[in-house]
Structure 1
């Protein structure tokens, strides 16, 4: 899961930069990843 998040978050940063509206639609996954990483520490 951590590897998945590590690969996912940079691509979402690019998506946020290029397509802010799409990022809002797909913000579920980075939110889930951040929550997972916070709970794992």
Structure 2
């Protein structure tokens, strides 16, 4: 039972980490887009 709980926790942490990294990636992409737009002005 304990082993199972640890693996569940691991899965949860991995999921949260993945979601967080995806959000960070999207933020970076948005920032890059604005950085690309500004030099055109």
Report the TM-score, using the length of structure 2 for normalisation.
0.39
More relative contact order, 1 or 2 (CA 8 Å, 6+ apart) = 1
> Higher helix fraction: Structure 1 or Structure 2?
2
Q: Which of these two proteins has the greater Rg computed from alpha carbons?
A: 2
Report the TM-score, using the length of structure 1 for normalisation.
0.39
